[in-house]
């Protein structure tokens, strides 16, 4: 079975996917690009079989997915590509308009949690089509990398989460739909193995990937290397899982989730 595999179109997926397209790693799959929100919707609707998705997608629908072990888009401190950019300090946003990105899911939940828990403010949240009216807005991905330095106030959500909890934050995971895992487990395992091999290959041989990513986003070479090699982590180890479970527990405590979801992982 040839699987349909989703990829976020930002450069933060290059360390995992680059070697599938440009290196010695092959996989029997067709790759489709989209924003995090696009991929969430396509996987949910059956348009994709396996995809990187917002960590909140399987948290909201745990019965619909199995997760692929040791794959994530995470940070352990500053992330640089998930920012609340603002005209005023975050502690001065109480009652103010804050625009939320339509391209994200996990970051939308995170920014609301951080503003209320870390900064003790309760803004009015609006969609990003009203960003021009808002005092602050959530920006993600390549746009955040380019725009962050232009704003007088900027909160790096990865750094703010680490200050609050001392833990990594998991923005995205790789998931397979329940029915695909049930009917095509060998094909899923093969794609999972290819993704892990591609991640390892690019980690050992990063230069070509970094050059292509830099050309796409227009960052200085040092900034691109720092972002992809130091800020982001693509593993899902015990500390990352602790960070993810802490986030979900906080959302459960806040009443956003009815109960803490049980995340399921495929057997490899």
The average confidence (pLDDT) of the chain is 94
Q: How far apart are the first and last CA of the chain?
A: 18
User: What is the per-residue pLDDT for 70?
Assistant: 98
d(CA 11, CA 232): 11
Domain boundaries 3-74+170-253, corresponding CATH code: 3.40.190.10
CB-based contact 140:80 (threshold 8 Å): no
Q: Give the residue range(s) of CATH 3.40.190.10 domains in the chain.
A: 3-74+170-253, 82-165
DSSP 2: P
126-158 pLDDT per residue, tens: 998 898 999 999 999 888 888 766 777 899 999
Q: Which CATH number fits domain 82-165: 3.40.47.10, 3.90.25.10, 3.40.190.10, 3.60.21.10?
A: 3.40.190.10
Instruction: Give pairs for 244-248: CB < 8 Å, separation 24+.
Output: 244/55, 244/169, 244/170, 246/165, 246/167, 247/55, 247/110, 247/113, 247/161, 247/169, 247/170, 248/59
Residue 93 pLDDT more than 90? yes
pLDDT in tens, 195-231: 999 999 999 999 999 999 999 888 889 999 999 999 9
pLDDT given at position 148: 67
The dihedrals phi and psi of 17, each to the nearest 5 degrees, come to -95, -20
- Which strand ranges, in their side-by-side order, compose the sheet holding 29-34? 29-34, 3-8, 50-54, 169-177, 65-75, 232-233
Arithmetic mean of pLDDT, 240-264: 96
pLDDT of amino acid 129: 87
């Amino acid at each position: 079975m040839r699987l349909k595999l989703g990829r976020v179109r930002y450069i933060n997926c290059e360390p995992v996917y680059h070697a599938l397209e440009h290196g010695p790693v092959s996989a029997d799959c067709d790759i489709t690009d989209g924003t995090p929100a696009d991929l969430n919707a396509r996987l949910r609707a059956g348009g994709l079989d396996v995809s990187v998705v917002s960590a909140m997608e399987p948290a909201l629908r745990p019965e619909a997915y199995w997760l692929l072990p040791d794959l994530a888009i995470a940070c352990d401190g500053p992330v640089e590509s998930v920012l609340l950019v603002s005209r005023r300090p975050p502690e001065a946003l109480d009652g103010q308009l804050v625009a939320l990105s339509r391209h994200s899911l996990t970051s939308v939940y995170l920014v609301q949690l951080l503003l209320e828990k870390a900064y003790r403010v309760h803004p009015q949240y609006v969609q990003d089509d009203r960003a021009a009216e808002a005092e602050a807005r959530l920006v993600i991905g390549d746009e955040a990398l380019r725009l962050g330095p232009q704003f007088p106030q900027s909160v790096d959500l990865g750094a703010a989460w680490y200050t609050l909890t001392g833990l990594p934050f998991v923005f995205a995971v790789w998931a397979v739909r329940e029915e695909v895992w049930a009917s095509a487990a060998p094909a899923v395992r093969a794609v999972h193995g290819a993704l892990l091999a591609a991640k390892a290959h690019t980690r050992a041989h990063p230069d070509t990937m970094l050059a292509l990513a830099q050309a796409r986003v227009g960052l200085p070479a040092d900034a691109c290397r720092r972002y992809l090699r130091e800020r982001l982590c693509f593993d899902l180890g015990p500390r990352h899982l602790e960070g993810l479970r802490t986030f979900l527990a906080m959302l459960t405590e806040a009443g956003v989730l009815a109960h803490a979801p049980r995340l399921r992982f495929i057997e490899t």
